[in-house]
Structure 1
Amino acid sequence: MALVKRFFLILFLSLLASLGLAAPRVGLHDGYTRLVFDLPAVMSASGKLSGQTYTVQLGRALPSAAGALSAPGLSRYQISGQRLTLTLSGAGTPRLQVLPASGAVKPRLVVDVPLKAVKKAAAKKVVPAPPALVRAATSAPVTVVIDPGHGGVYPGMVSHWVTEKDVTLDVALRVRDKLQARGVKVIMTRSGDTQISTDLASDLDARSRLANNGKVGAFISIHVNSGGAGAQGIETYYFGAPMQSDSRTLAVTENGGGSLGLELTKRASTTAQNLLGDLVAQAKLTFSRDLATRVQQNLVRATGAVNRGVKSDTFVVILHPTTPAILTEIGFGTSDDEGPKLALPAYRDRIAAAIADAVATYLHVK
């Protein structure tokens, strides 16, 4: 049954892709649900609320699409020509925003649906946002969780040049400083050579659950890869069924290695299979994939490293978050080329800047 669900999910997404329009991405936030539709170009948009129906008039026609939305405040969407219709189950008037393209990211129509009533306001035409991406106004700063992989009694990868726990902490602290300079609130899973728990399964679980307070915008776990002397490159993961068999070895390693790592990976794999039929969960994973893509592109551009791509796999540390969560392998510490580079503060700073810029752009923080 799980395989059948997966087949039809892939078929559905492939059909939408062939029409040039992806299903809307769904984000769950404190007080509102966010829908994001990719657009072929920047266009005008105006909305009108009538009962539980919110109609958006677009500046140009889009391919027809429709589907159920199992998310708070929403039950269905439909696109027909220049009209987008949302069936609401919450209260209050949604907020519209059109964001321009940014690098490889297409223009987007963003619809924030409040989960409680707000004072009625007249429908007004939305003007496309200026080139600088603008985040929806909020009284609280965006919060990001940064997880420096391993630490304390868990050294991670060890080579002639570097030890993983030292590199990940140094890079993570640099990311923290750069994000804080932009007004982002940062929660660190560790700020020194420590671990949350000496029980590895509990340690990984606790790190992951730090992102589950409902107010976190992103969870970033930073790691260093290992392999043969010739292995090199950067790769970034989001949670899900593995795309290829060779990544399973990495998942087992990052999940603790040995019999424990294998057991945790098996459990996570069961979770990944169960998520295939959950549309809300799939929407969250889509957000994670988008974040992973931004981070991967920035890292490769900043370092010139081999692009090993964006992939999904069953890493326990990104299993639980209800927010976009990724794990990035910033290079091979065992590589004759990348090992020495990862030992250099200047190279680590380039990596940190690339991650911070990608996260800030993703969250619409200047």
Structure 2
Amino acid sequence: IENNALASRNLGDCSTMSPEACGKAKELSQRILDKGLPSVEDMRDKLAACQDDSCRKGIWTEYRQASDATINTLKQMALNGELSREELAFINHELGKELAVSGYRANDKIGRSEQSSWLNGGGGPLSGFFNTELRQKELENAGLSKADAAQYVKEEHRNLMLLETATGIIGAKANRTSINIVGKGATLPTGYAPKGNSVIGPKGSVYGNTGKVDASGNTIYSNNGGYYTFENGVKTKVQSPNSDSQIRQNYEKGKEFEQSTYDKFKVDKVESAREITVKTDSNTKIRVDMIGKDKEGNIICVECKSSSTAPLTTNQKKGFPELETKGGTVVGKGKPGFEEGSKIPPTKVDIIRPTSKD
């Protein structure tokens, strides 16, 4: 059983998420696909088109390789600051669960693999990465040397193992209401159940272990963008344990820059919108951060980059020049003024980066 890690280009109406979370899942899926990675639908279509076992074997191998490539790409995006820890956790848990449910409904070979992968490892394929490579990178960004950061992570892991051993978690016969966490009152509320290092809610929602604890020593879990602890049968919402990390600060700073840029951008526009997905003639999909129409009817497109060195994605490198020469079509739900199917004439995408004054 492999960890399914492919993004979807057709999530539709998510069955395990709120509409808001579903929108976030679609946005993150597109950012993954913008890296030139295949979607789970691509693999499913290829497998369905096979006429013999030799073809199926080849596509199955391609599927495994694509999953590995996606996992490695997600890791690199996090290490580069393109994905926040919260976004990566959302992909690892919530998006993975949605794909598992979709796979169950599809009921084909890939679909069954997606479902089985989730049921047998609901922590997600990136769970170990959070407290090793990503944690080390965060410490390096905070000013520690590479060697010191590596040693710090090693000590954190060793201390956690010692605490787990001391509380009888490793090798112990845990009862059904206890949970694999370090804390004063590790009792779950009614309807919640432990699964590995995670917690499963009454409706199947997964609370992923962040590897962090609060001041009382209770493990902090992430779910759908929020953070929670479980103590004495009570679930409590808490602040993000990563708010002081350099990556989080960079992410928030980038969002602030993007919002301030949009506030200026929309002032003289008849219509304007953010985060519109456009498909070019070559079927390349690109997300445009800002799009607007001035009084003369001219379309203006803007891409915000959070730093002077942040690169364009693979799809942006290909799609922006195509949009400039041939135009494109709005896909997805679109926004008022730029609904699905709207034609965008040949338009250059202006790339804006922070200046020293910003």
TM-score grouping bracket, smaller chain normalisation: under 0.3
Larger strand proportion of the pair: 1
Larger helix proportion of the pair: 2
Q: Normalization by structure 1: what TM-score?
A: 0.25
Q: Normalization by structure 2: what TM-score?
A: 0.25
Which is bigger in relative contact order (C-alpha 8 A, separation at least 6)? 1
